[in-house]
Amino acid sequence: MKLNLILIFAVLLFFKAAQAAGGGHDEGVPIQVLYQAINFSILVGLLFFLTRKKVAAYLIGRLESHEQAKQQAQQAQAEAEERHKEVSSKLKSLQETEDQTIAKAQTEALEMKSKLIQEAELLAKRIVEEARKTTSYEHEKAKQLLREEAFELALKQARSAIEKNMTSDDQKNLQKQFVDSIGAAR
């Protein structure tokens, strides 16, 4: 502020000196221009004096906000670069391990295939063995049934043959043998 006032007075003195050096002629700067320059200098000085704190605070605030924006942009750029490095390294790692992963998957698939084939063969053997056992059991069961039916048929035929061929003398004779065998058993 003091510097501005000193400058204003210096300009005024310069104009006055220039006017005095002219020897009284009106060849220099007219007095009205001098008054206008003084008024303008006073106006600029007052504006500076009244608004310097607000303007300084505004400019400092703008500077700080620009600095914060700059720091945020730098931080975002650093984070983006870091993320880019991570993604690039993961991609490179995946590309390097791609062949290994495919080979491993093929190996696992072959192992699983052979394991499934072994299990299927074992299951088929069990089914065949169970079928053999079932067939053998059913065969023996059918033989037993045929024996029982043959025995019953033979018994029926023998009964009917005995009933047809047996006479009353034969029947009495059989009863006597039966009674004798019971008496001997006592």
SS3 content of the chain, % helix, strand, coil (to 5): 95, 0, 5
What DSSP character marks residue 27?
Answer: T
Predicted local distance difference test score (pLDDT) of residue 15? 65
**Which amino acid would we find at residue 33?**
V
Evaluate whether 56 touches 1 at the Cβ level (below 8 Å): no
Could you tell me the pTM of the whole model? 0.35
- Return the structure tokens found at 83: 């993320």
Which residue in this structure is represented by tokens 């003091």?
2
CA distances from 140 to 4, 117, 127, 151, 153 (A): 132, 34, 20, 16, 20
Evaluate whether 16 touches 6 at the Cβ level (below 8 Å): no
CA distances from 78 to 43, 65, 75, 82, 153 (A): 49, 20, 5, 6, 105
Residues 6+ apart with CB under 8 A from 91: none
Q: Could you give the percent of the chain with pLDDT greater than 90?
A: 28
- Return the structure tokens found at 149: 């039916």
Predicted local distance difference test score (pLDDT) of residue 178? 79
**Span 131-152, pLDDT tens digits:** 899 999 989 988 899 889 888 8
Q: For CA atoms 63, 65, 66, 72, give the dihedral sign.
A: positive
How many C-beta neighbours within 10 Å does residue 170 have?
Answer: 11
Confidence of residue 83 (pLDDT cuts 50, 70, 90): very high
Predicted local distance difference test score (pLDDT) of residue 22? 55
